[in-house]
Amino acid sequence: MYVQDFADGGMDAADLLGGKGANLAEMTRLGLPVPPGFTITTAACVEYMRTGVVPPGLRVEVTTALRRLEDAGGRRLGDPDDPLLVSVRSGARFSMPGMMETILDVGLNDASVHGLAAQSGDERFAWDSYRRLVQMFGRTVLGIDGAAFADPLDAAKERTGVASDVELGADELRTLTATYLEIVRARSGRDFPQDPRDQLDAAIVAVLDSWNTDRARLYRRKERIPDDLGTAVNVCAMVFGNLGPDSGTGVAFTRDPATGRAGDYGDYLPNAQGEDVVAGIRNTSTLADLARLDPASYADLRRAMRRLETHYRDLCDVEFTIERGHLWMLQTRVGKRTAAAAFRIATQLVDEGIITLDEALTRVTGEQLTQLLFPRFDAAAERTVLARGLGASPGAAVGRAVFDPATAQEWAGRGEAVVLVRRETNPDDLGGMLAAVGILTARGGKTSHAAVVARGIGRTCVVGADAVDVDPSARAFRTDGRVIAEGDVIALDGGTGEVFLGDVPVIDSPVTLYLTDGVDAALAQAGEDDARALVGAVDRLLRHADAARRLGVRANADTADDAVRARELGAEGIGLARTEHMFLGERRVLIERAIVADDDAARQSAFDALLPLQRADVRGVLEAMDGLPTTIRLLDPPLHEFLPDLTDLAVRVAVADERGESDPDDVALLGAVRRMHEANPMLGLRGVRLGLVLPGLFALQIRAICDAVADLRAQGRDPHAEIMVPLVGSAQEMRLVRAQVEEISAEVGVRGLRVGTMIELPRAALTAARIAEVADFFSFGTNDLTQTVWGFSRDDVEGAFFPAYLDNGVLVVSPFETLDAVGVGRLVTLATREGRERRPDLVIGVCGEHGGDPESIRFFHDAGLDYVSCSPLRVPVARLEAGRAAVLTADRREDR
Amino acid sequence: MYVQDFADGGMDAADLLGGKGANLAEMTRLGLPVPPGFTITTAACVEYMRTGVVPPGLRVEVTTALRRLEDAGGRRLGDPDDPLLVSVRSGARFSMPGMMETILDVGLNDASVHGLAAQSGDERFAWDSYRRLVQMFGRTVLGIDGAAFADPLDAAKERTGVASDVELGADELRTLTATYLEIVRARSGRDFPQDPRDQLDAAIVAVLDSWNTDRARLYRRKERIPDDLGTAVNVCAMVFGNLGPDSGTGVAFTRDPATGRAGDYGDYLPNAQGEDVVAGIRNTSTLADLARLDPASYADLRRAMRRLETHYRDLCDVEFTIERGHLWMLQTRVGKRTAAAAFRIATQLVDEGIITLDEALTRVTGEQLTQLLFPRFDAAAERTVLARGLGASPGAAVGRAVFDPATAQEWAGRGEAVVLVRRETNPDDLGGMLAAVGILTARGGKTSHAAVVARGIGRTCVVGADAVDVDPSARAFRTDGRVIAEGDVIALDGGTGEVFLGDVPVIDSPVTLYLTDGVDAALAQAGEDDARALVGAVDRLLRHADAARRLGVRANADTADDAVRARELGAEGIGLARTEHMFLGERRVLIERAIVADDDAARQSAFDALLPLQRADVRGVLEAMDGLPTTIRLLDPPLHEFLPDLTDLAVRVAVADERGESDPDDVALLGAVRRMHEANPMLGLRGVRLGLVLPGLFALQIRAICDAVADLRAQGRDPHAEIMVPLVGSAQEMRLVRAQVEEISAEVGVRGLRVGTMIELPRAALTAARIAEVADFFSFGTNDLTQTVWGFSRDDVEGAFFPAYLDNGVLVVSPFETLDAVGVGRLVTLATREGRERRPDLVIGVCGEHGGDPESIRFFHDAGLDYVSCSPLRVPVARLEAGRAAVLTADRREDR
C-alpha cells in the first residue's frame, strides 16, 4: 500500500505520510474543512530510490485513489466540461527546503481550460491557471530555466502597459499560455502533456526525484536528516482563492510568533492564490481585514485555529483559502517562533491549562535563552544595511571600523569601541580581536578562525560577508558601491549576520538584567509589557528547571571576578579554575626561568617567587566561592606556551649575529628553547607529565592551594578546594601526585582536600576503573578528549579542513562545539560506568566547552554525570538544558 | 600456618613457598638427598607488610618446625657440644636480585664454636664458620658496610703473608672473629647476639625487610612483579663442603647452557663452601674431576640430575655439596640458557621423548631467535674491553671512532666503517647515525634517543657507557686511562654492551644464512657441529611454528628490494607498503609544489609529473609480491614532512634581507609555509584529510596503483593490490575515498581491488562497526593509536620523559615497543569484535611496529587478528611467536 487518503491518516503515521501529509490527515480527522486528497507514502520513494523505477502497483493505487477523489468532488480529472484540478506537493518527515515543493492546477489542458472557464464563469482565471500550470510544470518537472517564462510575462506586461500580473486580461493570458507551450516544446523537445494523468504521473516522479538533488542532500547532511527516509507526495483537490472578491488566501498563527503575545495573527490576501502570498507580489491585509470583509469565514478560521491549538497543544500556523465564502484549510504545523515568543507561549499554555510546566520546559531551549541574553538593536530604529554575512557569534556591536590588529589595540586603548574588519583572521589577529567589540570578515564560515575565536572570547562576529571587499592597505572596505573608511562607524548583528552603517541604537536585554540582578530588578527596569512578560516567563521556566534538574551546574572561572559573576548567574561551584593564567603576563618570566633552569636551586628560587602570587590567586577564587566546591587544576598547557616562539627567537638571533650585535642571553635562551622544542606540543611534555618531570612545580601549586585554604579557614571561611590533575593517562600518575598532596597538606595541616583527575585522554577513559581507585572525582576534559579521539588538534584543523569536512559530510557540526556522541561520547559513558563500578561515590563532571552546549548537556545527563561546568555566561543555559534533560528523560533530581 | 617443612611442599605451592622453597620441597618429595628444613611462607611476609609487625604465631610455628629439624638430625640449635647450624635464605616466587640472599652458619656463638670444632675435628673450619657468620650477619642483618670486615681480613692476610683466605690458620681466624665481634659492637651499638634463636629471628626479619628495599622495588617495577607477593624464607640445616678433601661443593647443569650440547656440565670445588664457588675465589675443577676424585658421589649426582631433568622435563641447574662423601642437593631450578642452547635443548628433549614438539616451541622465544640473527664476535679471538654500557640495539659493529655526524657521513661516504661516539644523541645526529655501523653514547638508557633510533634503523648501539668521557672538541674519548682518538678502531657488542679496542673478528650467524638461503645452504656453510645442530633445531621449530600458527605474517616493505627480502624470510604478503617514501629525495620538490600551489592547474601538473614515478614504484613492489596480498597505503605523513622547515627558512629569509640579497622565491615560499604551518602536525592535515582536501592527490595514487595492476595483469602476472586509507576517523571518509577508487578503477578497467582502512585513531576503533560497512579490511596502526590513546607523540616524549616515567613506575616498558594491552589493546579488541560482528569476512591485521614484538604478537593472536605485519627482518620472529601463541592458547591454524 503506497497510497493513503487524507481521511485515513494522522500524525501517528508521520514517518510514512511526511509532515505535510500527516498534518492534512490530522486536520481531516478533526473534521476541519480540508479539500479531499491522498498521500503517496515515503515507502514508495524509498522503493523508487532502491530500484530506480517507480514501484509497480503505484500507478494502480494512484488510479483508485484518484477515482475516490473524483467521486468525492463529483469532478473528473481532464473532464473538458468540468475538470477536477489537483495540486502535487512534496512532503518529507522533516521540512526540507531544496526539494521540489508544489505544482498547482494539474489537470488543465487545451480542452479543459474552457470547461474551467465555463464552470467558474471566469475566463481570465481559467487561462491564468493554465498559464501557471505550464510554467510550474516546465520549470520544476522539465527543468526549464525560470527566466525563460519570466521574459514573455514581462513583455506582455510591457505590451499592455500594466504593472502586475493580475492586471493582465484573459486574452493576454491565452496568448501567454500559447507562448509558454511553445517554450516547453522548444526547450524540452516535446509537447506539454495534454493527458492530465501524464501530467500527474510526471509531477509525482519529479517530486520523488527531487529527494536526491544535490541541494536536498546537502541540506540533509547539514541538518543530520538520514538520506533513506524519502519524501511523501500529496495530491490534493484544488480550491481557488482567486475567484473574485469573496475569495482569498492567507497565512495565520494562533499567537504572535515574534513577540509571543496571545491572540491570532496573520496575513490575508483577497482574490489571490497561496503562491501570491508567499511571493509577496501584493501587499497583504491582516486578519482584522478578513474579519471585516467576511465575518463568517473569519469565525470559521478562528474556530479551526482554536481547535488546532487545543489539539496540537502548541502554537500552530496554517495556510487557508476562502473560495467564494467557503473556508478551506490547506496546511498546518506547529509554528516556528522567536526565542522570546517561545518562553512566553510556553508559560501562557501552562496558564491556560493546556500543557504542564514540565512540558513548557521542553518547549524552550538553551540556545533560545542564549539569544535572549545578548543586547540587540532597537527594532524601531532606522538603519541602513551595508551587507549580509553569517552570524557567527551573537550580539549587537557598534564601533569604528579598523583594518589591522595594531590599530584596533591602539584605538581601544584610548577608549574607542572598534570593529575589526579583515578579509579573514589568523592567530596574529588575536590581540586585535580581543580589543574589538566586534569582528567582521569577508570570508570564512561558521567554523572559520574568526568565528571560532570570537565565540570563544565572547565577541560579536559576522563572517563570510562576501560582498565586503576589504582593502587593508587603503584602510577601507567597499560594499555595494559604498566605501567605508577607517574610523567610520558600523554596526554588526551577530545573530542575523547583518552589517549596518552608522550608530544603530542598542537595547540591553531585560533577561540579562534578570539573571544578574534578580527578577524584581528586571521587572522594575523593563518598561514595555513584552519585556515584563518575557522576564516573568524566563524566571518561571528557569526556576522549574532548577527544581527538576539532576545535573549540577558549575562554572569554569579562573579569577575571583569571574567566580563572583558565575555565582550570580547560579553556578553551584567551580568545575575548572585554571592555574596557568596565573603564570601569564609579568609572571611569565618566572615560569620561563624555572623551565629553562639548569639547576634545581635556580628553579626553586623562581618557584619561591611564584608561591605568594599563586597563593593570592587561589585565595581570591576560593573566597568568592566560599562554601561551594572549587576545582583547581594544576598546570596543564604545553611547554611552548611559557617559552618564546622558536622561529621568532631564531630570526632575532640570526639577524643580531649578522649585524655583529649578538646577545649572549638570547643565544643561551635559543639553545634552551631549541632543546625543549616539541614537534607536537599538544602531545608533549605537559600536564601531569611536566608536573612529575619538573621537580617542584606541582609542589608549588599544591602548597599555594593548601596555604590559601588554611588562611581562609583561620578566618572562619569555608573553602572547598579540590585539586585536579590534568592529562592523566594512568593510575600511577595520579598515585604519585596524590602522594605529594598528602605530604604537603599534612605539612600545612590542612585536611579534607579532595584530589581528582581530568579524563581527557582515551587511555584515562579506558582505564577509568583503575584510576577511580586513586581519584575522588573525574572531570571530563572533552576538548582534549575530542582532540585525541579524532586525532586532530583544534588549532590546526578548524581553519584548514573543517569547512571542507562540513561540506563533504564527514562532520555535521564541529565536534568541539557539540560532543561527538558516537566516538568521544562512547568513552564518556564507558569511563563513567566503570569508574562508578569501582568507586560508587565517585563525583563525575565535565569541564570542557561542551559543558555549555545544549545537545551535549542532554548527553551528559543521559550518561549519568553529576554536573556540568561551563563559562559563567553559559550557566543559565546549562541550568535550563539540564532541567529539560531531566524532564525529557523523567530522571529528575527529586527521584534520586 | 606460616611454616611448612620441605617434606610437605612442592612446586604446586610455589606462590606460598617461593621458587627456592618449592624446588627444595620438590626435590625432597622426589627422594633426593636434601638437608632437612622448612619454609616460612610468603603469607607471613604479606601479613608483615600489611601490619608492620611479625605475625603473632609465627614465632611459635618456627619453634615447632625447629624442633622437628633438631629431631631429624639429632642436633640442637645452640648445643655447645654439637650444635645444629642452619642457613637462612630469601626466596620469592620470581628470582629477585636486590633482596637479601643468604646467611649461613646461624647457630654458632662463643660456646658452640668449640663444639663444632670438636665434632668436626677441625678447629680452623669452626672458626672460619663463626667468622663468616659474624661477617654476614653484620653486613646483611645489621647493615654494616662490607668494607669494615674486608679491611681486617686483608690486614690478617698481609700480617701472615698469605694470598688467600683458605691459607689463614685457626689462630688467625679466631683473632679475626674477635675483631669482627668488636666491629659489630662498635658499628651497631650492640653485641652480636649469642642466643642462636635471636640470630635466627633477626635473620628472618632481615629477609622480610629486604622485600621492600628501594632496589628490590625498582627491580620489581622493571620486571612487572607485583609488590604484594612477598618473599618466603627458607631455613635449612647446614651441610659442609669444607670438611676436608672428601668434601666439596659445586654447581652443575644437566646440559651445556651455553651451547646446548647434551651431557652434564659444571664446576666443582673440593673442600669448599658454596659461596666460594660463587665468589670465584679459587679456580674450579670440572665435573670430570669429581668423577675421578669421588666416583660414588658423582654417580649419585648424575642420578639426581637425570631424575630432576625427567621430573622437570627441562634443563636444570643444581647446587650441591658433598660432605665427607655424602651428596647433598642444596638447590635446583629450571636453568637459564643462551638462545642457541634454548633451540638445541628443546629439540633434543623432543628426540629423547621427554616433551612434544608443541612444548618445544614454547621453550624458545622470538627474542632468542632475534639474538641468533646478529653477527657476533668470535668468542675465541683476543679482545680488550675498553668499557661497558647497556646493549641497546644488538649486533657486532667494528669501525673507526668519529665524534660528529658530519665526519661520520663524510668518512662513510668514502667507504669507511665508522662508529659514532657521542655523549648523547639528538635528532640532529640522525644523518650520522644512519652513516655509522654502530653508535656509542656515554649517557642515556635503553629508551634514550640513541637507543630508540638505533633500534629503529637497525644499527648496533651501546648506550650509557658512563666510564667513557667524550670530548667532541678534542675528537677523542678517554676511558680507564686510555685515550681513543678519531680514526681509532673500536668494536661494539650491542647485546652485552661491551666496547672493545681494535678490530675484533666477527662471525656471521648461520641462522641468518638459513633464513635467507634455506636449510641446505646453511648446513653446507656451517662448519662446526654446534652451528649445524643449531640450524637444524631452528629449522625444525620454525617449521613447526608455521604449521601451528593461526596468525598470518606479512611484512612492512616500501620498495621492491625490501619486498623480495621479506618474501625470502617467509612473509605471506605485504601488510604495509608506504607510498610517502616514493615522494622523497628528488621528487620531494614535486609534492612540495603541489601542496603550495595556488591553482588547480599548477597542482595537477605536479601530480601529472609524479604519476609515472609512482606507478613504477608500485609496480616494483607488486611484481615482487606476485600472487600475495600487498597492502598499499595512500599518503599519510604530516604536511610539514614535505615542506621546508619554517624556522630554517625564516632565518634564511631574514638574514638575506639583512644583507639586501632577498630572494623573492624564498619570500613567497616562506609565506606559504607560514600559512600551512601546523602547531601539532601529528594532529593536523594529514592522511585521508589531506587526500580529501587536496584535490587530485589520492586520485594520482589510486591511478598509479590501478595502472600498475593493469600492466602486470596484461603480462599474465597476478598482483593482489589492496588500497589502505590512513588516519580514518569516520565511515564517511572511507566512503568518499572508496568512491574515488571505484571510479578510477572502473576507468582503468581494473576489478577486484580491495579497499580498507588503518585503524589508528581511537575514533576509528570506537566506530569500527560503521567503518566495517565500507571497508574490506582493517589494519591497526598501533604506533599512531598509541600516540592518540596516550596523548603523547613519539617524537616528543621518548627523550624527554620516558626515562623518568620508567623510573617512577608509570611505564614498565615503552608502549611503542610492547603494546599497551590495558589501554590501546582494549581498543584493538573492541574494534576487532565489533568490526567482525558487522562484517564477518573482514580481514584484520596490524602494521604498527608492535607487529614484530613477541609479547604484542601473543596479544594480537588472542584478540583474533588474521595477521601481523612487521619489518622484513622480524618476519621469522613473528612466525615463531605466532606459532608459540597458537600452541600456548591451543588455538591453531588447523583448528579453524
Q: What is the pLDDT of residues A236-275, one digit of tens each?
A: 999 999 888 899 999 899 999 888 999 988 889 888 877 6
User: Exposed, middle or buried by CB within 10 Å (0-12, 13-18, 19+), for B353?
Assistant: exposed
Whether A133 shows a pLDDT value over 60: the answer reads yes
CA distance A204 to B528: 89
User: Exposed, middle or buried by CB within 10 Å (0-12, 13-18, 19+), for A460?
Assistant: buried
Nearest to A801 among B654, B689, B826 (CB): B689
Q: Is residue B413 marked as binding? A: no
Residue B491 three-state SS: strand
Tell me the DSSP string of B22-50.
HHHHHHHHTT--PPPEEEE-HHHHHHHHH
B805 to chain A: which residues are within 8 Å by CB?
689, 692
A134 with A118, same domain: the answer is yes
A231 with A258, same domain: the answer is no
Strands B76-77 and B86-92: unpaired
A65 with A162, same domain: the answer is yes
Q: What is the pLDDT of residues A39-60, one digit of tens each?
A: 999 999 999 999 989 998 999 9
A723-752 residues touching B, CB cutoff 8 A: 727, 729-730, 732-733, 736
A789-808 residues touching B, CB cutoff 8 A: 789-793, 795-797, 800-801, 804-805, 808
pLDDT computed for residue A548 by the predictor: 95
Biggest CA–CA distance in chain B, Å, is 106
- Is A489 part of any domain? yes
Query: Residue B499 forms beta bridges with which residues?
Result: B387, B492
Domain of B394: which CATH number?
3.50.30.10
Residue A528 three-state SS: coil
Query: How many CB atoms neighbour CB A314 within 10 A?
Result: 20
Inter-chain touch A689–B767, beta carbons under 8 Å:
no
Inter-chain touch B788–A793, beta carbons under 8 Å:
no
A808 to chain B: which residues are within 8 Å by CB?
692, 732, 736
* Own/partner long-range contacts of B514-521 (Cβ < 8 Å, ≥24 apart): B514/B538, B514/B539, B515/B373, B515/B568, B515/B569, B515/B570, B515/B876, B516/B565, B516/B568, B516/B569
Given the residues A449, A544, A640, A861, the one annotated as active site = A449
B655 to chain A: which residues are within 8 Å by CB?
654-655, 658
Inter-chain touch A791–B727, beta carbons under 8 Å:
yes
CA distance B70 to B16: 24
**Cα first-last separation, chain A:** 48
Residue located via cell numbers 669421588: B294
Strands, E assignment, A438-531: 438-441, 460-463, 469-471, 476-479, 482-485, 489-493, 498-501, 506-507
User: Exposed, middle or buried by CB within 10 Å (0-12, 13-18, 19+), for B661?
Assistant: exposed
CA distance B843 to B852: 19
Q: For Cα atoms B609, B614, B617, give the angle at the middle one, nearest 5 degrees.
A: 140
> Is the complex ipTM more than 0.85?
no
* Higher local confidence (pLDDT), A126 or A9: A126
A175 with A204, same domain: the answer is yes
CB pairs under 8 A between A and B: 195
Which of A237, A263, A298 represents a domain boundary (last residue)? A237
Residues in chain B: 896
Q: Is residue A760 marked as binding? A: yes
- Domain membership of residue A454 as a residue range: 374-507
Percent of chain A as helix, strand, coil, to the nearest 5? 50, 15, 30
B154 with B299, same domain: the answer is no
Nearest chain B residue (CA) to A736? B808
CB A634 within 8 A of CB A737: yes
Domain of B287: which CATH number?
3.30.470.20
Nearest chain B residue (CA) to A792? B683
Helix axes A123-136, A112-120, angle to 10 degrees: 140
Q: Is residue A138 marked as binding? A: no
A259 with A382, same domain: the answer is no
Q: What is the pLDDT of residues A25-41, one digit of tens each?
A: 999 999 999 999 999 99
Whether A277 shows a pLDDT value over 70: the answer reads no
Give me the sign of the Cα torsion angle A265, A271, A277, A282. Answer: negative
Q: What is the pLDDT of residues A145-161, one digit of tens each?
A: 888 998 898 899 888 88
Q: What is the pLDDT of residues A678-691, one digit of tens each?
A: 888 888 889 999 99
Q: For Cα atoms A839, A841, A842, give the angle at the middle one, nearest 5 degrees.
A: 70
Q: Which three cell numbers stand for residue B562?
A: 625490501
A102 with A200, same domain: the answer is yes
Whether B170 contacts chain A with CB within 8 A: no
Strands B777-780 and B843-846: parallel
Least reliable range by pLDDT among A609-618, A798-807, B309-318, B662-671:
A798-807
Query: How many CB atoms neighbour CB A664 within 10 A?
Result: 7
CA distances from A481 to A386, A400, A469, A484 (A): 10, 19, 10, 10
Min Cα distance A748 → chain B (Å) is 25
Nearest to B655 among A654, A729, A791 (CB): A654
CA distance A870 to A860: 13
Which of A207, A237, A267 represents a domain boundary (last residue)? A237
CA distance A636 to A847: 14
Residues 6+ apart with CB under 8 A from A481: none
Whether A896 shows a pLDDT value over 50: the answer reads no
B272-311 residues touching A, CB cutoff 8 A: none
A380 with A489, same domain: the answer is yes
Nearest to A796 among B651, B680, B800 (CB): B680
Whether B786 contacts chain A with CB within 8 A: no
A362 with A382, same domain: the answer is no
Whether A685 contacts chain B with CB within 8 A: yes
B680 to chain A: which residues are within 8 Å by CB?
680-683, 793, 795-796
Inter-chain touch B692–A792, beta carbons under 8 Å:
no
Domain of B788: which CATH number?
3.20.20.60
CA distances from A713 to A718, A719, B605 (A): 6, 7, 72
CA distance B302 to B250: 13
Q: Total domain count for chain B?
A: 5
B300 with B346, same domain: the answer is no
Domain of A77: which CATH number?
1.20.80.30
CB A774 within 8 A of CB A731: yes
Residues 6+ apart with CB under 8 A from A158: none
CB A304 within 8 A of CB A326: no
Find the radius of gyration of the CA atoms of chain A: 33
Min Cα distance B760 → chain A (Å) is 9
* Residue of A24, A57, A26, A50 whose CA lies nearest to A38: A24
Inter-chain touch B762–A762, beta carbons under 8 Å:
yes
CB B593 within 8 A of CB B602: yes
CA distance B541 to B711: 40
Residue located via cell numbers 569604528: A400
Nearest chain A residue (CA) to B810? A732
Q: Is residue A471 marked as binding? A: no
- Write b or e for each residue in A328-340: b if 16 or more Cβ atoms lie within 10 A of its Cβ, otherwise e: bbbbbbbbebbbb
Low-confidence ranges of chain B (pLDDT < 70): 97-98, 100, 222, 275-283, 427, 446-448, 452, 456, 582, 797-800, 892-896
- Is B14 part of any domain? no
B166 with B88, same domain: the answer is yes
Q: Is residue A782 marked as binding? A: yes
Which of B218, B237, B256 represents a domain boundary (last residue)? B237
A532 with A566, same domain: the answer is no
Min Cα distance A804 → chain B (Å) is 7
CA distances from A890 to A173, A876, B12 (A): 61, 21, 56
A644-683 residues touching B, CB cutoff 8 A: 646-647, 650-651, 654-655, 658-659, 675, 678-683
For B473, list phi and psi in degrees, rounded to 5: -70, -30
CA distance A845 to A777: 8
- Is A662 part of any domain? no
Residue B848 three-state SS: coil
CB A889 within 8 A of CB A551: no
Site from A810, A813, A822, A830 to mutate, B interface, most B CB atoms within 10 angstroms: A810
A686-705 residues touching B, CB cutoff 8 A: 689, 692-693
**With bands split at pLDDT 50, 70 and 90, how would you rate the model's confidence at A94?**
confident
- Is A661 part of any domain? no
- Is A169 part of any domain? yes
Query: How many CB atoms neighbour CB B194 within 10 A?
Result: 14
